[in-house]
Amino acid sequence: MAAARDADVEPGDPEGRAAARPLLTDLYQATMALGYWRAGRAREAAEFELFFRRCPFGGAFALAAGLRDCVRFLRAFRLRDADVQFLASVLPADTDPAFFAHLRALDCSGVTVRALPEGSLAFPGVPLLQVSGPLLVVQLLETPLLCLVSYASLVATNAARLRLIAGPEKRLLEMGLRRAQGPDGGLTASTYSYMGGFDSSSNVLAGQLRGVPVAGTLAHSFVTSFLGTEVPPDPMLAPAAGEGSRVDLPARVEVWLERVCAHLGLGVQEPHRGERAAFVAYALAFPQAFQGLLDSYSVRRSGLPNFLAVALALGELGYHAVGVRLDSGDLLQQALEIRGVFRTTAALFQVPWLESVRIAVSNNIDEEELARLVQEGSEVDVIGIGTSVVTCPRQPFLGCVYKLVSVGGQPRMKLTEDSEKQTLPGSKAAFRLLGSDGSLLLDLLQLAEEPAPQAGQELKVWPRGSQEPHTVSPAHVEPLLQLWLQHGQLCQPLPTLAESRAYAQQSLSCLSPAHSWLENPTLCQVALSEKLQALVDSLSAGGPP
């Protein structure tokens, strides 16, 4: 077994706090636990699978996420005295005290987990997690694991869709903490939007605990707080190279403002003094990273000339402004106009760096507006998205389920009038079958005891929902489910968040254009082996396993 990093500790989290606690669960998990214990079945071997039934957002894929949080939760799983005392207060008063003694001794030392690596493409019915161990324990894990996986995978998928729209060049900033469903939802969204393809987050805690790159500048309140009568306590700024005399920055800004206004044809109308004072204050604090928020008053008549005056004054000292942001109006058209002003100003004053100053935009950007902002000819460089990524308004849930597939080595299957809710019985393996060009043919589910499919071998498979078998000859075969925990012990190093992000982008690149369409895509096939299909048919007909 490979040596593994401690999965319970995140950067900046020396105490190794778990992502969830055992009582983050539904009461019926505890009542079933009591029922298992009373029936003498607490330690029976059982296996559950966690999966979803339909791809979210009307798409053809999801990204698997949340595994690291699940592993941290499982390795830290213990019921404290206070937890057991609370359960005793909500369970029947005549419950045998020996049951609570059993709960106090519980941990996940008997639990084994196989799962898709974080960032994997996932399709309906293919397990995101397979969890096996003592029946009572793995039943108690249902709700927490669903909570840890479902929202993480939903946000990662949502972020991946936005990245597919934006393309590889545009920078995406997640800035939805203030709109998220509580602090835990905000942290999860910032973490897994990064995994799904965003470049950074405004969430500082996600940077501290999860290593997400953080970014942020200033808001309108900073700009509007200045009247223009404020006097900086120290208006002097040294050159970027560190050599030469310090310069009175506000004074140089006023000199440049006159030249800029003449260039822009603004006549005698003075840009807002308070806005200019705010930009100067920000530049004195961040001369190496000066950015301007241009639309507090008027972009053309105030924000842009004030920004240029400060940027050009900084440029005299060897500092280069890094960006501007727009938060209202027609973002695409304004960005085009601003880039034009940057180019002509750069040529006029011989400051070529000004041409490439980044233009960032924000303002309730959704998939449709994002597609408009990244169209050919767009001058937008950075796009900040908040509400649309963290709340997933097109579909606020993934609908993952956690279903029993085996007890005591015998397959179990849920039979129901709703065929979509029927489960696939037995302990299973999963494989991705690929064509010679690396294209995705289908995902194959088979019983664990079956030999793995081989490249070049013709296989008879049963696509889900089909009444007839198909034949397929894969050029490549990839096993999907990896062993992460065995009897509570970590079996391999968990990838870092950055590694999972890179893997997600690699996974998305394997989708064909038809599969990656965001509207009416071609669905990826999931098929059953002949032996698994025969087991399903037998149990559906009421026959023996």
Mean pLDDT by 10 residues, the chain (545 residues): 39 49 96 98 98 96 97 96 98 97 97 98 97 98 98 98 95 96 94 98 96 95 96 96 92 96 83 97 97 96 97 97 96 97 97 97 96 96 97 95 97 83 94 93 97 95 90 96 96 96 94 88 94 94 67
Q: Determine how many CB atoms are found less than 10 A away from the CB of residue 32.
A: 16
Which residues share a beta bridge with 358? 323
- Are the beta carbons of 310 and 253 closer than 8 angstroms? yes
Model pTM score: 0.93
Parallel/antiparallel/unpaired status of strands 459-463 and 526-529: antiparallel
Q: Reduced to 3 states, what is the DSSP secondary structure of residue 371?
A: helix
How far from chain centre, in Å, is Cα 401? 20
CA distance 69 to 485: 13
CA distance 530 to 186: 44
Q: Reduced to 3 states, what is the DSSP secondary structure of residue 295?
A: coil
Parallel/antiparallel/unpaired status of strands 428-434 and 247-248: unpaired
- Phi and psi at 15, nearest 5°, equal -85, -5
CA distance 199 to 173: 6
What's the pLDDT score for residue 419? 74
What's the pLDDT score for residue 543? 59
- Which residue in 207, 248, 204, 253 sits closest to 228, CA to CA? 253
What's the pLDDT score for residue 505? 95
- Which residue in 162, 188, 170, 142 sits closest to 28, CA to CA? 142
Which residues share a beta bridge with 478? 432
What's the pLDDT score for residue 353? 97
Q: Reduced to 3 states, what is the DSSP secondary structure of residue 490?
A: strand
88-93's contacts with Cβ under 8 Å and 24+ in sequence apart are: 90/27, 90/30, 91/30, 91/31, 91/34
CA distance 129 to 68: 12
Q: Reduced to 3 states, what is the DSSP secondary structure of residue 114?
A: strand
Angle between helices 97-104 and 81-90 (to 10 degrees): 150
Burial pattern 400-424, b for ≥16 Cβ within 10 A else e, equals bbbbbbbeeeebbbeeeeeeeebbb
Angle between helices 304-316 and 273-285 (to 10 degrees): 40
Q: Give the torsion sign (CA, 340, 343, 347, 348).
A: positive
How far from chain centre, in Å, is Cα 504? 10
- Which residues lie below 8 Å from residue 231, measured CB to CB, with a gap of 6+? none
- Are the beta carbons of 388 and 366 closer than 8 angstroms? yes
What's the pLDDT score for residue 467? 85
What's the pLDDT score for residue 545? 57
- Which residue in 294, 268, 269, 281 sits closest to 229, CA to CA? 281
What's the pLDDT score for residue 423? 93
- Which residue in 48, 72, 46 sits closest to 485, CA to CA? 72
